[in-house]
Chains A and B, each alone.
Chain A
Amino acid sequence: MATYSFRLNGRSVSADSWDAAQPLLYVLRNQFALHGVKFGCGLGQCGACTVLMDGRAVRSCTTPMSLAAGRAITTIEGLGTAQKPDRVQAAFIAEQAAQCGYCTSGMIMASAAFLTQTPKPTRDQVKQGLAGNLCRCGTHTRILRAVLRASRA
C-alpha cells in the first residue's frame, strides 16, 4: 500500500492505494466522495471523467495515481457551488445545458480548460474544443451556447 500526496481542489491531501496504476477516478470518487467525477468508459473515449491536472484537462479514468502524485487536481466540486457557481457552471445553468447531466461535469471541466486556452472562441472553435467529450442526450446546441456565454462573462 503506497501513499500518494497531491493537491485537491486547493487542499493538500494524500490517498492510499495498493496499486500505482489505480486510476485517479476511483480515488476521487471513493476516497474523497467527489461524485461529480463520472465513470463513462474507463477508456479515455468519452470525457465524462474529465478533471483538471495542473490546469489541463485530463481523463481521470486513465490517469494512474502514480502520475497524479504531486500535481494539483481540480474537480467540478472545486469550481463553485450551486449557490456560488463559477462562470462556466453559471453559464450551463443559465442555458439549462443538460438533460440527464451525466456528461455535464466532464463537459464543464473540458470547457473550463478550453476557455483558459481560448478565451474568446468562435462557435466552431468550441465545437472543435469539445470534440473529445460525448453527450448522448443530444444537448450539444445548449452546451455550445453555454460555453460561448461563459466566454463573454
Chain B
Amino acid sequence: MITPILSRRDLLKTGGALVVGFAFDAALPRWTWAQTPAAGGHAGKPLDPSEVDSFLAIHPDGTVTLYSGKVDVGTGLRIAVAQMAAEELGIQAERITVVDGDTGVCPDQGGTGGSTGLTRGGVEVRQAAATARQALLALGATRLGRPAAELTIVDGEVRPLAGGAGVGVGTLIGDRRFSLKVDSKAPIREPARYGVVGKPLPRPDMPDKCTGHHVYVHDFTLPGMLHARVIRPAAIGAKLVSVDDSSVRGIPGVRVVRLENFLAVVASDEWAAVSAARALKATWTEWQGLQGSDGLERWTRAAALDRDQAVVNRGDALAALGGGAKRLSATYFWPFQSHASLGPSCAVADVRGDGSATIWSASQGTHGLRSNLSKVFGLSPDKVRVVFLDGSGSYGTNGGDHAAADAVLLSKTLGQPVRVQWMRQDETGWDPKGPQQLLDVQAALDANGRIVAWDTQMWLPAQAPGGRALLAADAAGLPQDHGQGAGLLTQNGDPPYQADNVRVLVHWVKDTPLQLSNLRAPGKVANVFAVESFTDELAAAARVDPVAFRLGRLTDQRAIDVLNRAAQTFGWQPRPSPSPQARQGRMLVGRGIAYVRYKQTENYVAMAMEVAVDPASGRIDVRRVACAHDCGLIVNPDALKNQIEGSIVQTISRTLHEEVTFDRSRVTSVDWASYPILRFPEAPQVDVVLIDRPDQPLLGAGEAATAPVAAALANAIFDATGVRLRTVPFTLQRMKAALSAGSTA
C-alpha cells in the first residue's frame, strides 16, 4: 500500500515537452471551469504589465473584464479596483468583473501585501484604463466624425459632450485587443468630478458569501481528484523512522505516501483520508531543538546577533539622554503570533506527465508561488499556472503556500489531481509565524517637557534572503532556499513627534525558533505598541493630557486632524492619566489614545479606546473604540470601514489573547482552546471616522489601523488602573499580577 520512496532525481525529472494550452472563461462558475476546458477565449492574452490588454478586455456587450495580479482576500479589492477602472472608462462598475491572481491570465503586480493592493495594483489598472479611455475616444471620434476632444464616455457610450447620439464601447472595441502600451501620461480623471470612486458600492462577493455559493479553494474539485492529509512530525525537526501501514488497513481506499520524511495519506473519500491520517502509526526520531516559549524574552535579549543597524540616527541621542531633566526607560515585548486563519489552508494541484501543472491556491502571491514551486519541484515556470481562489482570511502568508507544495508533491508523485486540506492543528501549529519583538525605549524630557532624546533598541530576527522554505520540500529532501522574510519590521520605531535627538537601533538576531512570515502590520504592530505606550508614559510623567501631549509635538495638519477627530468622536475629556475617578462599581474604567503615521510615510490614524478592568479577575473589557483614519483619496468608504473595523477588532484579539506557545519540540498552541482569539461577548462598539482627501494620493488600508490598537489599549488600562502592561498578550493572569505588584509589569 505504501508508495515506494522516490529518489530526488525522480521527483525533479520533468515529463515530455507538450504544452497544454490553457483556456479560461471568466463568466463560468470557477469550480466547473476544469470540467469545460475548451471554453473561453483568453488563451494567449498578454501578461506584460506594460500592455493595456494585460489588464483589461472590453466585450461586445459593453461589459469589462479586469485582470488583477493583486488578489481580494476578503478586503474588498475587487470592488475598489472595479470602481477605479469604471471612473476612467466611463463604464458602470456593475458591468466590470475582476479576475484576480490567476498567473495564466493576470499580469504579475507583485504579492498582495504591505497594503499595496490599491496603491500599486489599483493604480496600475487605473493607468491602463486611462490609456484605454483615450483609445476609445479616438475610435469614437472616427466613428462619430467629431474630434476626440469634443467627446466623453458615459455609461459605456462614447458621446459628444454637447449631446447627441453616441456609440457603445463594446461596438468600438468588443473583444479586440487595444495593442497599446500603458501610457504613464494618459490623463487621470479629476477627483473633483469623480462619480464612482468614493461611493460605498456593495461588494459583489457578498450575496454569494451570505448564501453559501461563493467558491473558495476549499470547494474546488476536479474529476479523479484524491483527498490528501499530510502527517506532520511530532517534533519540528524529527525524521521518519518507520510507518506501520497495517494501522490503516481497515479504512477503504487509502494509500500511504512516503517520500523520505514526507508522510501523507490519500483516498478518493475525504473522510477516509482524515480517518487514516489519525489512525496511521508512524515512528519519528526524538528532536528537541527549540528553547521553548517560556522565557522567550530573556532568550531574545541574550541571542547571538547577526549585526546591529541604526535605522534612524538624528543628532546624538545617547549623549542627550544624560542631559534631560527627566529620564524614562521601559521594555516592551510582543510574542510570536499565528495568522490563525479560520479555515485551515487548502490547495488543489494537477501535475501532468508532460510536466505541466495547475495549482489552485488562496495564496496572496500567486506569481511568487509559481516561481517557488517551479524551482523547488523542477517544473518549467511557463508550464505552471497558479489560479487564485478565495481562501479563509490570511492576513499575510499563512499555511497556504505550504499546502500548495504538499499538493504539488503528491500530485506529481501519484499522477492524479490532489486536494490537500490542512487540519486545525496543522494551520495553527505549522503556519509560518509573525516573530517575537523585544524593544527597549528610553527618552529624556527637559524642564519644559520637550523631548530632547529618544532611543529605541529593537531585537528582530535577521531576515535571511531567498524564498521561504516549503515544508513538503524539506521533508522530501528537495534542495531549496531557506529564506526568512517577515516583512518590513523596523518601521515606526521612532516617535512621530518633535524630538531633538533620535536613534533607532536594530539588533538583528541570527536565529529564529519558528519559521517566519509577514503577519498583518509586520513589525509595526509591536513598534507602535512600544512607541505609543512610551509616549503615554512621557505624558504621564509630564502630567499632561495624552492628546494634548501629542498635539503639542506635531506640526503636520493631517496628523493633528486625525487626533482631534478621534478625541472628538470619543468624547475625550482632557486631563492627565491615570484617572482620578476610575472606579465604577467593581470595575476600573479608563481611556487611552494612540496615534500613528503608518510607516512614517503613509496613513494617519488616531484611536481612542475605553476599557473597564475587573481587578478581581483581571478581565479587560474594551467597551468602545473611536478611530479617525486618513488614507488620502477614498475609493470605497464602506469597504474601507470594514477593513478598519476588522483591523481594530483583530488586533484587540492579538493584544488580549494571542501567543504562540512551544516546548522543546513543537508548537503547543494548535487549536482555538490553546490559541484563543476574541469572542463575540468581547466585541466592542467601534466608531470609524473617515477623512477623505481626494486631492491626495490613495494609500492602502489593510494594515494601518492595526498599528495603534495595542498602545491605545495599554494606555487605557494605565488610565483605569495606574498600572502599565508592557508584555502582550494582556491575559487575566498578567493583569492581576500587575495590579497586585501595584506598579508596572
Would A130 and B212 count as touching, CB distance under 8 A? no
Give the CA-CA distance A100 to B210 in the complex, in Å: 11
Would A82 and B211 count as touching, CB distance under 8 A? yes
Interface: B653 (CB within 8 A) = yes
Query: For residues 196 through 214 of chain B, which have their beta carbon under 8 Å from a beta carbon of chain A?
Result: 202-203, 205-214
Q: Which residue of B lies closest to A135 (CB)?
A: B342
Interface: A7 (CB within 8 A) = no
Give the CA-CA distance A39 to B229 in the complex, in Å: 14
Would B342 and A35 count as touching, CB distance under 8 A? no
Give the CA-CA distance A137 to B391 in the complex, in Å: 12
Interface: B467 (CB within 8 A) = no
Interface: B649 (CB within 8 A) = yes
What per-residue 1/0 map shows which CB atoms of A75-103 lie under 8 Å from chain B? 11101111001000100110011111111
What per-residue 1/0 map shows which CB atoms of B412-444 lie under 8 Å from chain A? 000000000101100000000000000000000
Total A-B pairs in contact (CB under 8 Å)? 184
Residues of A within 8 A of B651 (CB): 138
Interface: B647 (CB within 8 A) = yes
Would B207 and A93 count as touching, CB distance under 8 A? yes
Indicate which residue in B216, B275, B680 contacts A131 across the interface (CB closer than 8 Å).
Answer: B680
Residues of B within 8 A of A89 (CB): 210-211
Residues of A within 8 A of B650 (CB): 136-138
Residues of B within 8 A of A98 (CB): 74, 205-206, 209-210
B733 to A: closest C-beta gap in Å: 22
Would A138 and B207 count as touching, CB distance under 8 A? no
Residues of B within 8 A of A138 (CB): 645-653, 678
Residues of B within 8 A of A127 (CB): 680-681, 683
Would A137 and B393 count as touching, CB distance under 8 A? yes
Interface: B271 (CB within 8 A) = yes
Would B343 and A80 count as touching, CB distance under 8 A? no
Interface pick from B2-10, B52-60, B669-677: B669-677
B605 to A: closest C-beta gap in Å: 15
Would A104 and B209 count as touching, CB distance under 8 A? yes
Interface: A105 (CB within 8 A) = yes
A28 to B: closest C-beta gap in Å: 10
A73 to B: closest C-beta gap in Å: 13
Query: For residues 36 through 60 of chain A, which have their beta carbon under 8 Å from a beta carbon of chain B?
Result: 36-43, 45-46, 48
- Number of contact residues on A: which range applies? 35 or more
Chain A at the B interface: SS class: loop
B355 to A: closest C-beta gap in Å: 30
Would B343 and A39 count as touching, CB distance under 8 A? yes
Q: Which residue of B lies closest to A101 (CB)?
A: B209
Q: Which residue of A lies closest to B342 (CB)?
A: A136
Most chain-A Cβ atoms within 10 A of its Cβ — which of B270, B275, B391, B652?
B270
Residues of B within 8 A of A45 (CB): 424, 671-673
Would A35 and B270 count as touching, CB distance under 8 A? no
Interface: B541 (CB within 8 A) = no
Give the CA-CA distance A39 to B651 in the complex, in Å: 24
What per-residue 1/0 map shows which CB atoms of B337-351 lie under 8 Å from chain A? 000111110000000
Interface: B139 (CB within 8 A) = no
Instruction: Known contacts A39-B218, A46-B672, A99-B393; decide if A30 and B270 are in contact (CB<8 Å).
Output: yes
B671 to A: closest C-beta gap in Å: 6
Q: Which residue of A lies closest to B268 (CB)?
A: A30
Interface: A141 (CB within 8 A) = yes
Would A99 and B646 count as touching, CB distance under 8 A? yes
Give the CA-CA distance A81 to B269 in the complex, in Å: 29
Indicate which residue in B211, B344, B685 contacts A141 across the interface (CB closer than 8 Å).
Answer: B685
Residues of A within 8 A of B215 (CB): 35
B398 to A: closest C-beta gap in Å: 10
Residues of A within 8 A of B643 (CB): 99
B719 to A: closest C-beta gap in Å: 23
A72 to B: closest C-beta gap in Å: 17
Give the CA-CA distance A98 to B424 in the complex, in Å: 22
Give the CA-CA distance A64 to B393 in the complex, in Å: 28
Indicate which residue in B205, B213, B344 contacts A39 across the interface (CB closer than 8 Å).
Answer: B344
Indicate which residue in B210, B340, B390, B424 contacts A42 across the interface (CB closer than 8 Å).
Answer: B424
Interface: B686 (CB within 8 A) = yes
- Number of contact residues on B: which range applies? 35 or more
Would B424 and A41 count as touching, CB distance under 8 A? yes
What per-residue 1/0 map shows which CB atoms of A103-145 lie under 8 Å from chain B? 1110010000000000000000011111111111111111110
Indicate which residue in B272, B677, B685 contacts A136 across the interface (CB closer than 8 Å).
Answer: B677
Give the CA-CA distance A25 to B390 in the complex, in Å: 20
Give the CA-CA distance A138 to B208 in the complex, in Å: 20
Would B206 and A96 count as touching, CB distance under 8 A? yes
Would A39 and B210 count as touching, CB distance under 8 A? no
Residues of B within 8 A of A108 (CB): 210
A20 to B: closest C-beta gap in Å: 11
A109 to B: closest C-beta gap in Å: 9
Instruction: Known contacts A35-B219, A141-B685, A142-B642; decide if A101 and B213 are in contact (CB<8 Å).
Output: no
Give the CA-CA distance A99 to B72 in the complex, in Å: 10
Query: For residues 638 through 693 of chain B, which have their beta carbon under 8 Å from a beta carbon of chain A?
Result: 638-639, 642-643, 645-653, 671-673, 677-681, 683-686
Residues of A within 8 A of B271 (CB): 17, 19, 22-23, 26, 30
Interface: A8 (CB within 8 A) = no
Q: Which residue of A lies closest to B220 (CB)?
A: A35
Residues of A within 8 A of B269 (CB): 18, 30
Residues of B within 8 A of A18 (CB): 252, 269, 272
Q: Which residue of A lies closest to B207 (CB)?
A: A82
Would B680 and A35 count as touching, CB distance under 8 A? no
B545 to A: closest C-beta gap in Å: 28
Q: Which residue of A lies closest to B73 (CB)?
A: A100
Residues of B within 8 A of A97 (CB): 210
A93 to B: closest C-beta gap in Å: 5
Give the CA-CA distance A11 to B648 in the complex, in Å: 43
Would B392 and A136 count as touching, CB distance under 8 A? yes
Indicate which residue in A36, A96, A128, A129 contacts B638 across the interface (CB closer than 8 Å).
Answer: A96
Residues of B within 8 A of A129 (CB): 680
Known: A40-B344, A96-B638. 7 other contacts (CB 8 A): A35-B219, A41-B672, A45-B671, A75-B212, A77-B211, A93-B202, A138-B648
List A residues at the B interface (Cβ < 8 Å): 17-19, 22-23, 26, 29-30, 34-43, 45-46, 48, 75-77, 79-82, 85, 89, 92-93, 96-105, 108, 126-144
The 5 sampled A-B contact pairs (Cβ below 8 Å) are: A36-B212, A99-B646, A101-B209, A131-B680, A143-B680
6 closest Cβ pairs, A-B complex: A36-B212, A138-B649, A100-B74, A101-B209, A76-B212, A100-B393
List B residues at the A interface (Cβ < 8 Å): 73-75, 202-203, 205-216, 218-219, 252, 269-272, 274-275, 340-344, 390-393, 395, 421, 423-424, 638-639, 642-643, 645-653, 671-673, 677-681, 683-686
